Every structure is written in structure tokens, then in C-alpha cells.
A and B are shown apart, each in its own frame.
Chain A
């Protein structure tokens, strides 16, 4: 593990010159690597990436996302996953292989406006992302609160190996379901929910600062 070099960058800023591999949010002209977003550039071991401070959610395969059912057709639901593409959930995925649009009624499972937790099965640039709800913890979400945060702040809310979200869960007695798309579902006792929402908003506001874990600890101890 080499030394990590960090610096603030704006679109068009020269990050580094040389033969580096670009991981994300940067581009190359000849030998020079420039940033494409407002954020923090990280240079490690011949690799360059920019961690953005603002931006939409881009679907990735295997991401856990929370979505709201916005429509249904005979064979699939359309789900708003807080991205620039609408996702679709095939009815076969819910009713099984024997799904028959004449027998099964899609609205009996999910209605318009329902909140679901789902995984992204496939996503190509030319096609809308496809979801699945088969798996532990996936499906309709009820009895809780939905919080929206900026999708680029999600990694900070989860923390290293889930440390941040576990800490909030422990302190508030709530369960957090964090979608990579910036939608967070909080389930638990009412006082805990209020505290957890405040903590989530706090993480979002302070996401770019160092010593965030300590600050959150103090915040949770102080009763929110």
C-alpha cells in the first residue's frame, strides 16, 4: 500500500501527470489526467480516482437499492430508484416461473407508492436496470421512516465494513436499511427513529470532514 495523496479538485483541474490508471471521474489528454467533478482526488499506486461531492446515483449490478413503485404493466412493475433511469421489476421474479398475467394480479403484491428494497440484477447503458426482490431482507418495506440523502454520501453513512451504520443502530435501537441510491429506511422504536434520522442527516452534512466517527459518537451520546 503506497502513500495516498489527496487534493481538492474542480472540473478541468489537472490532477497528475504520468502513466496512471483512471478509476473514476477523471479523463486523460495525452499524459495529463484531469478531474471531471468537484471532489477529492486520490492518487495511490499508479491509480487515480475522484470522490465526488455531488452527483446522481448511477446503478451498478448487485447494489442494494430502495425504490418506490410508480407504475405497473401486465408483466412488470416500474420502480423509481432515485436515478436517471427507471428500473423495472419483472413479475416473474415475484410470482415465480408459473407467472400468468391472466391469473396473477400485480397490484396484490405491490401497489403504486409502495416502498421496496431490491437488488440490481443487470444494468447496461442501453437498457433500464432490472431488479430482483428474491433474497433475504428484500421486498416490501413497512412500518418505518424513509430518509433521503445524497447518493454520493452513502459510503460514509455505511462506514468501513458497516461501522458507521452499526454504531447508529446500536445507539438508537433501530434497524437501518441503506440503499446505495441514497434512500435510507429506518425501523424501530419512535424515539430511536427520531434520533437515527438526526444522526443520518448529521453524517450527510459532515461527510467530507475528518474525525467523523468521533463526532457521531459524541452526537449520539449527547442525545441528538
Chain B
């Protein structure tokens, strides 16, 4: 394995340590869904569809005082370099759970007792950091569905590559690097809803990586806002003020 960071501090795709990959978000891409969004985050291409709130089936799953949130993160068989079997893998089932738990604190589930809200996250093309991109797109899609939320949720990762703390790992850095730290936050009210770590970091490195990831989340939050502004108010945020 060659070096992942060269002498000038450039990473394999030419970025600096604190630079994000290019991100593009589109709102309302699916007609049949109640809310939807599409995100391109580096090599990730992800479609998210929201259905609900609607009556819960099977009925026994319904809760008397609030809605249930059901989340499905799924990678298309053609999304990876080698064909991925279409049935949910152990990894996808786990990611569905952590994404659900990252979105749950933001949604006012108490407003819709006995109902269900379904979130479908389909990864069409995968790169590193797809859970973060999935969360980012899912919260935009939830806003598009008109579901009351305390805040948008933004996901982004930081990690350690070649002994250096870097932002927004791509697939290669994720696999060959020393550590990966996916984070999701609610930027306006300043709360963390997802925090995982794979690999080893010292406490100082962890703090540095967390700060870097939060900084990245805030940048992505601006892109989320722009996408919603374009769709709903027909202008960019700066122009409307």
C-alpha cells in the first residue's frame, strides 16, 4: 500500500485534511413518495423516500402515544465494485438501526400516535461515509414530507489516515486508514445524535476528529438548507434576506 497522504499534505483525491468531497442535494425527486431527496456525496449516490405518517401495519407494532419510525438502509446489488447480494446483510441491518436512532430524536413522533413513518434509504452507488450521506438526505426528505422536526440532522465522518486526522473519508481511506468516526448532529440546537468509532484513536485525537467532523457537518448543513430553499422558496438563502 502506497502513501495515502503525500508530502504536500494532499490526500489520494487531492483534498486537504479539512476538505469535503463535492456534495449535491436535490429535494422531491420521487412523485409517489410523501417526501424524497437525492444526494451525491463524493462517489455516493443515494435516494431516500419517506412514506407516512400512515396507519401501522402490522397493527401490534403501533404505539398508543407516538409514531414508530421504521428505517431501511439498503445497498443496491450494483452499488459496489463486486456484486452485493440483494438481501439485507448484517451490516445493512445494523446501519438501519443506527440511522433510525440518529433520526428519532429530531422527529416529533408524539404528534402522530399509532402511526408509522417509513424511511427508505437506497444506495445506488457507494463510497465511504454512506451512513452520513444517508442521514443527511433522509432528514431533507423528512422535511420535504412535512413531518415536524426539531432540527435537520446532518451526518459526516472524520478519521485518521497515515497518522493524520482528516475529514470526510472516502472508500479507500476508510478501508486503509487507521480510524473512522461517523458523527451526526442537529446543528441548530447543538446535539449529537450518532457517534460511532471504528479503529483506534487517542483521547486527544478523538477530540480533534470530533471537532473536525462537527465542522464538516455544519458545512453540509448549509448545502441542505440551500437545497430546501431552492425547492420551496425559489431563491438561495442569501438572496431571500
Contact = CB atoms under 8 A, between A and B. Distances in A.
B137 interface: no
B150 A85 contact: no
A162 to B, nearest CB: 25
Contacts, number: 76
Interface of B: 34-35, 52-55, 64, 106, 108, 112-115, 143-152, 186-189, 225, 228-229, 232-233, 240
B112 A84 contact: yes
Given A10-B143, A54-B35, A125-B113, A34 B188 contact: yes
B189 A29 contact: yes
A53 B147 contact: no
A37 B146 contact: yes
A91 to B, nearest CB: 22
Contact of A13 (B64, B148, B188): B188
Interface of A: 8, 10-14, 25, 27, 29, 34, 36-38, 52-56, 84-86, 125-126, 152, 208
Given A12-B152, A38-B228, A152 B146 contact: yes
Nearest to B142: A11
Nearest to B186: A12
B117 to A, nearest CB: 9
Given A8-B240, A56-B34, A84 B146 contact: no
A84 B187 CA distance: 30
Nearest to B110: A125
B187 A12 contact: yes
Given A8-B240, A36-B108, A125-B113, A84 B52 contact: yes
Contacts of B115: 84-85
Contacts of A13: 188
B225 A11 contact: no
A152 B52 CA distance: 16
